[in-house]
Amino acid sequence: MNPKVAIIILNWNGWEDTIECLESVFQITYPLYEVIIVDNGSKDDSIQKIKNYAEGKIKIKSRFFHYLPENKPIYVREYSKDELDTSISIKENIKNPVSRKNLILIKNDDNYGFAEGNNIGIKFALNNLNSDYILLLNNDTVVDPYFLNELINVAESDLQIGVLGSTIYEYKNPQEIQSAGVKIHWNKGEVINLTQQESKYLDEPKNVDCVMGCALLAKSELFNKIGYLNKDYFAYLEETEWCVRAHKASYRIVYVPKGKIWHKGGATSNKITGFTLFHYTRNKFWFMKKHSSKQQYFSFLTYFFGFRAWMVIGGILYRQKSKEILPSFISFLKGIRDGVLT
């Protein structure tokens, strides 16, 4: 028996990326999965466009696959957040016996961020789908047809493996590795994406500190044991913080080289000036205060205010357009303020 996987894809005003991601997901070879789209209050007609795709009305063009009209229509079941909040079981409403032909569409009334948006999808999967695994997948990704097989094969090989990540390649440069697992430098508070060369990984799975949230597979049992993503983070470092909790609960976090996806990156956050600077800065302080030792936190503060902050300010002045410099600078300072004081 193959374990069942719930694939959760978060959408916010990004239907074009989302339907390309969906088409790649509906072409994977793994036999037992359900797909959940969580729409975070989009205002760009995303919901209707996604339904049009499911009906076969929108053909996808991509360098990574050929569009398959024969896997349409896809059965769409819609739920509002209010319906889910009633806590009434909706298992009987998911009627299509062929799970890979289902698309569950959860419509949030607002943008709850990456953390809580995914939490809503995770809770739905655990309460209604009896999923053995949860896969968090960014909408700006395209997946290899065999990537989920590779991840599940490794996950099933060891009961202590709780979280897994694939090799993440650059979408625009498909041979360039964006992440081969993640390493935390505690004395600097830096979360570094490893490359295959830096980490000396070949084909064998390796333990890592954490994996990128754009393609994170987790055993369902973890959410009952360590909780969900921290919704206060909203976006950035929430998957890192969650992986650290998993590690503290004695689970292995594993990078699987043969699982492959391609990631655009910044498709959502780049729409808002200062969004990344504020949330990443604030969350870094929160993360370090909660999980680092006193010595590590002091070292982090020394590094941040003595070096890193000035590098960020220099980057703002050098890279940003003139009209974006002041908003970006303010966002950075607000991130420091909220991170230190709350």
Category of 227 on φ-ψ map: left (φ > 0), alpha (ψ -120 to 50) or beta: left
pLDDT of residue 272: 59
pLDDT of residue 321: 73
Put simply, whether the predicted model's pTM sits higher than 0.85 gets the answer yes
Asked whether the bond before 73 is cis by omega within 30 degrees of 0, the reply is yes
**Domain residue ranges in the chain:** 5-266, 272-341
Cβ–Cβ under 8 Å, residues 40 and 108: yes
- CATH code: domain 5-266 is 3.90.550.60
Q: Which residues of the chain have pLDDT under 70?
A: 87-100, 196-202, 266-273
Q: How far is the C-alpha of 285 from the C-alpha of 337, rounded, in Å?
A: 10
pLDDT tens-digit series, residues 280-309: 999 999 999 999 999 999 999 999 999 999
Beta-carbon count within 10 A of 109 CB: 11
Taking Cα atoms as reference points, which of 121, 122, 129 lies closest to residue 89? 129
Which amino acid type is present at position 304?
Answer: F
Taking Cα atoms as reference points, which of 133, 113, 99, 140 lies closest to residue 9? 140
Share of the chain above pLDDT 90, in %: 82
pLDDT of residue 267: 53
pLDDT of residue 101: 82
Distant-in-sequence, close-in-space partners of 238: CB < 8 Å, separation ≥ 6:
114, 115, 213, 229, 230, 283
